[in-house]
Amino acid sequence: MTGDHLDYGVIVGGSEAGDIGVEHGDILIEFAEAILGVDDERMEAARKAIAEKMGASALVDSAAVAALFNGIDRIADATGAPLEQSKADATVNLRAETGINEFSARKEALNAAQKNLTAG
């Protein structure tokens, strides 16, 4: 930790978050959003921006980090792994500012809405 105040709200702010105080943060956020989307042209442009501004190795590193986060999240969700108490205590502010605590309820609501659409 640097001791600097961190604005956790930028985590969920996406490309609208603006300057997040991280070098090349704007293109890294665009890359992350492109990964989660379905627009091949957007993905290609995001890859190109990282390669041109940060270098080929940064593109590889960025893709690896995104894949790792995606994999870890899916494994934890699939196994129902609980959040350890020490991590829960250390992330109270992070979870409050990002709305993470509400993610499960939102997912359940979306699943229920999808069931209603397919049943109707």
One domain, residues 47 and 10: yes
pLDDT category, 1, cuts 50, 70, 90? very low
Q: State the Cα–Cα distance between residues 24 and 73, nearest whole angstrom.
A: 25
Strand intervals (E) in 34-82? none
Number of domains observed in the structure of the chain:
2
| Backbone φ and ψ of 89, nearest 5° | -65, -40
Q: What is this structure's pTM?
A: 0.67
Q: Residue 27 sits in which domain range?
A: 6-81
Q: Give pLDDT tens digits for 34-49.
A: 998 999 999 999 999 9
One domain, residues 95 and 57: no
Q: Give pLDDT tens digits for 2-22.
A: 556 667 767 777 767 767 778
CB-CB neighbours of 50 under 10 Å: 21
Taken in order 56, 17, 73, 115, the sign of the CA dihedral is negative
